[in-house]
Amino acid sequence: MYCFVLKMHIQAIAIADPVGIGLAPLYHISEMKKLLTIISLSALLFTSCSKDDDNILAESEGKATVSFDAMFGSQDFALNKGFTVGSNTLTFNKLRYWVSNVVLVNSKNEEFKVPSSYYLIEETNAINLTGVNNDLSTTVYPATKREDVVLKEIPAGDYKSIRFSIGVEQKYNDNLSLQTGELSQLNGMTNVSWMWLTSYIYTSLGGTITNGTTSKTLKVETGLNANYKTVTLDFPAAVRISSTKATNIVLNADISKAIDGLDVYSTNTVGGSQAAAMTTVATNYATKVFSVKSVK
């Protein structure tokens, strides 16, 4: 609007003095100074308007970093640290889970499905993979901590929610020769005994559980097509994603909620043979574990 008014003002000056300075002798010197000042300010404001227009035109696809901040109740999750639950002490040596098929929903309810979005979120000590990928004793998956994923080429817009799944859908779970994103058999997140074919482990939580002087191995895993679950989270307010700003979405992942409803001392192993317990854990991941911490 300001640009339009300035253009009209300059046009009026041009009509009054078509040759630029032809009327100069008719003006008092002070009036000429005023005119020159107006022209100078108009030039500066035109430059500003032009820059604003360039900024608007420059906004394009953006990216967002999604962080899965692992917690255990109100405490930061950490490996090799004891967490007390009732009379039990849980100490973890690994936390791993697949996040897949990420979708962002904008304020117009339009969905952006992030292509090939399959990510292994993990915090784990070194894992010996002997007998998993091969029989070599030197096959070791290194200690790893990964909480962040970067979503790219997101159409510019205001986004109000995020949706993602925990696990791997049937198309890829039933045929490990099909690979996309980060899906791979080489990271130890597959199992050969749950189905009639090798399939993915969707979530894996391992360590020890101690009660008094007695300790047991803790191994809580989910898988199988029926336990592929989807999480939907609304943001506190819509967040702008575009090429002109960095966007960060931080989610809480409360691992204590993953074992909610289980007596993990008596059921310290959860897998394909413990179908009811596995379903409970998978449902917990879908409905209790994740929440929005911050969006900016």
Written as one letter, the residue type at 29 is: I
In whole angstroms, what is the distance from residue 160 CA to residue 21 CA? 57
Higher model confidence: residue 3 or residue 221?
Answer: 221
The half-sphere exposure of 43 on its side-chain side, counting CA atoms within 13 A, is 6
Q: How confident is the model at residue 20 (pLDDT cuts 50, 70, 90)?
A: very low
Higher model confidence: residue 61 or residue 41?
Answer: 61
Higher model confidence: residue 235 or residue 41?
Answer: 235
For the entire predicted model, the pTM comes to: 0.81
Per-residue pLDDT tens digits for 274-288:
999 999 999 999 999
In whole angstroms, what is the distance from residue 49 CA to residue 55 CA? 10
Angle, CA of 269, 274 and 278, to the nearest 5° = 85
The residue written with tokens 């199988």 in the block is 224
H or E stretch covering 25: none
* Dihedral (Cα; 76, 166, 288, 192), 10-degree rounding: -90
**138-to-130, 131, 144, 232 alpha-carbon distances in Å:** 7, 11, 17, 41
Question: What's the whole-number mean pLDDT along residues 115-139?
Answer: 84
Q: The tokens of 236 are what? A: 């506190």
Per-residue pLDDT tens digits for 236-285:
999 999 999 999 999 999 999 999 999 999 999 999 999 999 999 999 99
In whole angstroms, what is the distance from residue 296 CA to residue 278 CA? 35
Mean pLDDT of the chain: 86
Chain CA centroid to CA 185, Å: 23
pLDDT over 70 percentage in the chain: 79
In whole angstroms, what is the distance from residue 8 CA to residue 189 CA? 68
pLDDT over 90 percentage in the chain: 72
What pLDDT was estimated at residue 144? 96
